[in-house]
Amino acid sequence: TVPKSKNGPKPPKKRSSNVKSTKTDADILSPTAMENLYYIAHNAADCLKFRGFGWPRSNKKKKK
């Protein structure tokens, strides 16, 4: 049995407004991105799928 907290759940701590995010836009055609794609994609369709250009309705299965 785990003892319950007297104060209830704690609210999440907020970050200060002067904290900058380190996320930058990545260039999907950069040499390092293309090298990574070379190792993970098996064909042109996989390449496009990994870059966000997949075929529409590709996940639907055929009905018997």
Asked whether the whole model's pTM tops 0.95, one would answer: no
Q: How far apart are CA 20 and CA 50, in angstroms?
A: 29
- Domain contains 42: yes
- The residue ranking higher by pLDDT, 21 or 39, is 39
Backbone dihedral angles phi then psi of residue 47, each to the nearest 5 degrees: -60, -50
- What is the domain range of residue 41? 28-53
- Domain contains 33: yes
Predicted confidence at residue 26, as pLDDT, reads: 78
- Domain contains 63: no
Report DSSP letters for the chain, one per residue: -PPPPSS-SPPPPPPPTTPPP------TTSHHHHHHHHHH-SSHHHHHHHTT-PPTTTTPPPP-
Predicted confidence at residue 5, as pLDDT, reads: 59
Q: How far apart are CA 46 and CA 53, in angstroms?
A: 9
